């Protein structure tokens, strides 16, 4: 019995030291750049990009496997920030963002099951069991995670209406090389 | 006098001098628009949050009755411009380059034009300054020069900043417009009373009224009206566009230039339009809120140009139907030709900031097709803020907005001088407007991204807290169960003993 205890203890100690040494000696430094990219991402892990959360997307962008434009909630602002961080140039003006949409709950169909509010990455849906749920417009990022959770299809993605405050003067359109207005 | 003014103009190193087209419209006696059947009173006629309606469809309202209250710190109240019935709260095309819709209270006039019981103030100069500002806010008065910033807020902040001079803007430097000119000729005494009330509200010791030299009748009328008020002085300024910009008028009258990041109140002066002074007089002395305004109807396509008193919410089509049109106008503009808004059609309401309605003919607009920049620097000489419009536009064209900001885009007034003088007809000011809007939109997106990050972090924190609380509750229940069991055990032991 004593032999068994001593041998296993020694074995444990030896392996422990070996592992400790290996961890120090062969450590892979956490990529600081990757962490910086991840910090730029929205951090909602909404999955619209198709990667496993924002960390996955950040890694894919860092490896140049994914374009910097894959994050819909980040939009142009994120593309610009990434361009600055990663040192590539991008013509932000030429990017077309899909019309931003937000979720809305149809009060007549909602049964108050609370399934949607559990998956919302920004806690933008308020509700309680057997109470009609509602979406806080300011908090919704339009990630559409709640869409498939609803058993009664009460959630719809609706485009954010354009208001006078958000309207942007269009850029003057000039025609080709002559610089003549079309 | 004339020679001095001539030399003074030569000294103005900025701006442009377009043909003013003010006469003969300025010399025609003021008329009043016959009351339209329906008035479309928008909730958003000012800078800030839209007003909140306080009436329901079907309700009877009197002229001057509050129909929408100010919402938030920067907002302005809206009053019924005539007596009648609220037909609906619906939508109407906004007087805005986008042509988008805005919410408006639609009032069906009953033709009586009956005022609500107003309380005229017998001794307005005995009112404390705060009370004057409160009454001005209650009357829904906004800057009538075009910026439409709530007037009471400006007065209160100037009072806090302890300004010494109130500057009244009677320049009216935009071509075609003559409503301020006409108002100064018709109601000089009321304007001066309004100025004295505003001086009391701000604590200013003197008031300077800046009037461009091309309005001799208005200058004479205002001089006569200020004869007995030594603290109020009329100053003639050269006719130069954009003299009516508050920073430029301040520099002209005070002899000091304003730093880019400063406002006039930082240097001890507040600038208000003469029309606003008149509205202040109406609000305090007569108890009448801002429900109508004087505006200029002009343009080669107008049969009878002139100045009209128009109720807020009247449609542009009502105004042109009264003034008459000579054929189909080539372009409709609300405001002046330099900074005004091109209207998509005539079903647009007159708002508090509408200083003019222009129906321009094809000859007046001229056909312009932009060509390439020849780097003549005409725009540089014209720019009243000393920017390099050609450099900024080149960068915006290439999509480098931040580079344009480095060239001083934020200081651009969007006055349109550069576009006016450009021999290549490049729509310079449109580039700047686009860039300003686009930058604002990006700033909004960035704020949204920040907020999203905060919300995601808050959710993570909440989930962790909930998990912890759950675990703690479970542990507590377990402890309770154990205690209960132990107690049960002990009592059974005692019973056996």
DSSP collapsed to 3 states, B219-254: HHHHHHHCCCCCCEEEEEECCCECCCCHHHHHHHHH
Contact A72, A101 (CB under 8 A): no
pLDDT digits (tens, 9 = 90+) for B394-426: 999 998 899 999 999 999 999 999 999 999 999
Residue carrying structure tokens 């849906």: A125
Quick one: tokens of A145? 């995670």
Stretch among A16-25, A40-49, B34-43, B475-484 having the lowest mean pLDDT = A40-49
User: B309: part of which helix (H) or strand (E)?
Assistant: strand B306-311
How far is the C-alpha of B390 from the C-alpha of B407, rounded, in Å? 10
Interface residues from chain A to B (CB-CB < 8 Å): 42-45, 73-78, 80, 91-94, 120-124, 138-139, 141, 162-164, 166-172, 174, 178-181
Query: How many beta carbons lie within 10 A of that of residue B184, not counting itself?
Result: 29
Q: How confident is residue A93, by pLDDT bands cut at 50, 70 and 90?
A: low
Q: Given a cut of 70, is residue B1 above it in pLDDT?
A: no
- Judged against a pLDDT cut of 70, whether residue B7 lies above it is answered with no
- Provide the pLDDT for residue B213: 94
How high is the mean pLDDT of chain B?
92
Find all residues with CB under 8 Å of B443, minimum gap 6, and list them.
none
Q: What's the pLDDT score for residue B4?
A: 47
Cα three-residue angle B175-B179-B180, rounded to 5 degrees: 95
Q: Do the Cβ atoms of A172 and B419 come closer than 8 Å? A: no
Predicted confidence (pLDDT) at residue B435 exceeds the cutoff of 50:
yes
The answer to whether B444 contacts A168, with C-beta atoms less than 8 Å apart, is no
Q: Where are the domains of chain A?
A: 32-94, 99-162
How distant is the Cα of B18 from the closest Cα of chain A, in angstroms?
24
Instruction: State yes or no: pLDDT of B496 exceeds 80.
Output: no
| B396 to chain A: closest CA residue | A171
Q: Nearest-CA distance from B271 to chain A in Å?
A: 26
What secondary structure letter does DSSP report for A45? Answer: -
| B397 contacts chain A (CB < 8 A) | yes
d(CA B387, CA B378): 12
- Among B436, B372, B107, smallest CA distance to A178 is for B372
**Cβ distance B143 to B47 under 8 Å?**
no
- Position A88 scores a pLDDT of 78
pLDDT band at A26 (very low <50, low <70, confident <90, very high): confident
Q: What's the distance, CA B187 to chain centroid? A: 23
Q: What is the pLDDT of residue B162?
A: 93
ipTM over 0.85: no
- B444 lies within 8 A of chain A by CB: yes
Name the closest residue on chain B to residue A71, using Cα atoms: B449
Cβ–Cβ gap A44/B456 under 8 Å: yes
To the nearest whole percent, how much of chain B has pLDDT over 70?
98
Pairwise CB contact (< 8 Å): A162 & B100: yes
Closest CA to B44 of B107, B100, B114, B115: B100
| Averaged pLDDT, B387-397 | 95
Q: Any residues with CB less than 8 A from the CB of B253 and at least 6 apart, and which? A: B167, B208, B210, B235, B237
| Mean pLDDT calculated for residue range B210-234 | 94
* Contact of B341 with B330, CB cutoff 8 Å: no
Task: Specify the CATH class of A32-94 in words.
Answer: mainly alpha
Least confident stretch, A156-165, B68-77, B431-440: A156-165
Distance from CA of A166 to the nearest CA of B (A): 7
CA distance B389 to chain A (A): 15
Other residues' Cβ atoms within 10 Å of the Cβ of residue A41:
26
Paired tokens of B296:
């200029």
Q: Are the C-beta atoms of A155 and A104 separated by less than 8 Å? A: yes
Q: By C-alpha distance, which of A65, A75, A67 is closest to A41?
A: A75
Q: How close A23 comes to chain B (CA, Å)?
A: 30
Residue A81 has a pLDDT of 85
Residue A17 has pLDDT above 70, yes or no: yes
Nearest CB partner across the interface for A122, out of B373, B437, B455 = B455
Residue B158 token pair: 């100037």
Distance (Å, whole) CA B293 – CA B32 = 10
Yes or no, beta carbons of A44 and B397 under 8 Å apart: no
pLDDT of residue A174: 67
Q: Are B166 and B269 in contact (CB under 8 A)?
A: yes
pLDDT above 80 for B5? no
B60/B483 Cα distance (integer angstroms): 72
Of B358, B248, B327, B270, nearest in space to B13 by CA: B248
Residue A177 pLDDT greater than 70, yes or no: no
Confidence label for B492 from pLDDT (cuts 50, 70 and 90): confident
Q: Which long-range contacts (CB under 8 A, 24 or more apart) does A18-21 make?
A: none
Rounded mean pLDDT, B124-149: 92
Residue-level pLDDT at A178: 38
**Chain A interface includes B344 (CB < 8 A):** no
Ramachandran region, residue A150 (left: φ > 0; alpha: ψ -120 to 50; beta: rest): beta
Instruction: Please tell me whether residue A135 adopts helix, strand or coil conformation.
Output: strand
| Separation of alpha carbons B335 and B315, rounded Å | 15
A78, A123, A171 member nearest B455 (Cβ): A123
pLDDT at B139 over 90: yes
Higher-scoring residue by pLDDT: B221, A182: B221
Q: How confident is the model at residue B307 (pLDDT cuts 50, 70, 90)?
A: very high
The phi and psi torsions of B113 (rounded to 5 degrees) equal 55, 50
Into which CATH architecture does domain A99-162 fall?
Answer: 2-Layer Sandwich (3.30)
Lowest mean pLDDT of A151-160, A165-174, B84-93, B170-179, name the range. A165-174
Q: CA angle, A142 as apex, A140 and A146 as ends, to 5°?
A: 85
**Which pLDDT belongs to residue A44?**
83
Q: How far apart are CA A153 and CA A173, in angstroms?
A: 42
Q: Which of A62-71, A112-121, B8-17, B294-303 ranks highest by mean pLDDT?
A: B294-303
Task: Assign B158 a pLDDT band (cuts: 50, 70, 90).
Answer: very high
């Amino acid at each position: 019995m004593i032999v068994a205890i001593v041998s296993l203890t020694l074995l444990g100690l030896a392996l422990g030291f070996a592992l400790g040494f290996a961890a120090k000696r062969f450590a892979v430094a956490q990529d600081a750049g990757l962490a910086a990219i991840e910090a730029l991402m929205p951090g909602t892990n909404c999955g619209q990009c198709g990667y496993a959360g924002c960390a996955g997307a950040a890694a894919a962008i860092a490896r140049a496997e994914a374009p910097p434009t894959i994050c819909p909630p980040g939009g142009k602002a994120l593309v610009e920030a990434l361009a600055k961080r990663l040192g590539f140039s991008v013509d932000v003006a030429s990017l077309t963002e899909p019309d931003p949409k937000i979720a809305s709950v149809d009060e007549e169909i909602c049964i108050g099951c609370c399934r949607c509010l559990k998956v919302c990455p920004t806690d933008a849906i308020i509700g309680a069991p057997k109470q009609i749920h509602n979406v806080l417009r300011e908090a919704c990022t339009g990630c559409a995670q709640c869409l498939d959770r609803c058993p009664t299809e009460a959630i719809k993605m609706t485009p954010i209406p354009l208001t006078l405050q958000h309207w942007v003067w269009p850029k003057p359109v000039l025609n080709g090389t002559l610089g003549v207005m079309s | 006098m004339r020679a001095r003014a001539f030399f003074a103009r030569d000294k103005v190193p900025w701006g442009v001098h377009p043909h003013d087209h003010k006469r003969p419209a300025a010399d025609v006696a003021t008329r009043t628009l016959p009351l339209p059947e329906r008035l479309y009173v928008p909730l958003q006629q000012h800078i800030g949050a839209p007003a909140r309606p306080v009436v329901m469809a079907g309700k009877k309202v009197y002229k001057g009755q509050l129909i929408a209250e100010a919402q938030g710190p920067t907002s302005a109240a809206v009053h019924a411009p005539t007596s009648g019935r609220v037909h609906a709260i619906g939508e109407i095309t906004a007087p805005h380059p986008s042509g988008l819709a805005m919410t408006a209270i639609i009032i069906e006039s009953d033709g009586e034009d009956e005022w609500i019981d107003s309380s005229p103030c017998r001794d307005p100069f005995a009112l404390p300054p705060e009370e004057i500002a409160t009454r001005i806010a209650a009357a829904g008065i906004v800057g009538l020069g075009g910026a439409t910033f709530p007037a009471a807020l400006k007065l209160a902040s100037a009072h806090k900043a302890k300004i010494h001079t109130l500057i009244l803007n009677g320049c009216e430097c935009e071509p075609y417009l003559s409503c301020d000119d006409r108002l100064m000729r018709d109601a000089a005494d009321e304007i001066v009373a309004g100025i004295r009330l505003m001086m009391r509200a701000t604590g200013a010791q003197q008031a300077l009224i800046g009037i461009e030299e091309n309005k001799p009748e208005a200058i004479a009328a205002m001089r006569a009206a200020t004869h007995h008020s030594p603290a109020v002085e009329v100053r003639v300024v050269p006719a130069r566009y954009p003299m009516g910009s508050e920073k430029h008028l301040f520099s002209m009258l005070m002899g000091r230039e304003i730093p880019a990041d400063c406002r006039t109140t930082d240097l001890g002066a507040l600038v208000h339009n003469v029309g606003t002074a008149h509205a202040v007089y109406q609000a305090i002395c007569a108890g009448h809120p801002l429900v109508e305004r004087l505006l200029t109807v002009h343009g080669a396509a107008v049969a009878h140009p002139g100045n009209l008193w128009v109720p807020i919410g009247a449609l542009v089509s009502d105004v042109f139907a009264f003034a008459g049109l000579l054929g189909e106008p080539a372009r409709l503009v609300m405001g002046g030709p330099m900074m005004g808004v091109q209207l998509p059609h005539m079903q647009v309401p007159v708002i508090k900031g509408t200083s003019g309605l222009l129906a321009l003919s094809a000859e007046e607009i001229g056909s312009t097709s932009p060509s390439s920049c020849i780097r003549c620097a005409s725009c540089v000489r014209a720019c009243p803020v000393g920017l390099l419009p050609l450099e900024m536009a080149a960068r915006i064209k290439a999509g480098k907005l931040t580079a344009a900001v480095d060239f001083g885009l934020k200081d651009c007034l969007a006055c349109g001088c550069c576009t006016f003088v450009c021999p290549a007809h490049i729509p310079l000011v449109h580039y700047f407007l686009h860039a300003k809007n686009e930058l604002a939109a990006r700033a909004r997106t960035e704020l949204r991204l920040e907020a999203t990050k905060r919300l995601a972090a808050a959710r993570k924190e909440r989930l962790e807290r909930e998990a912890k609380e759950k675990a703690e509750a479970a542990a507590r229940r377990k402890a309770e169960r154990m205690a209960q069991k132990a107690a049960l055990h002990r009592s059974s032991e005692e019973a056996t003993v």
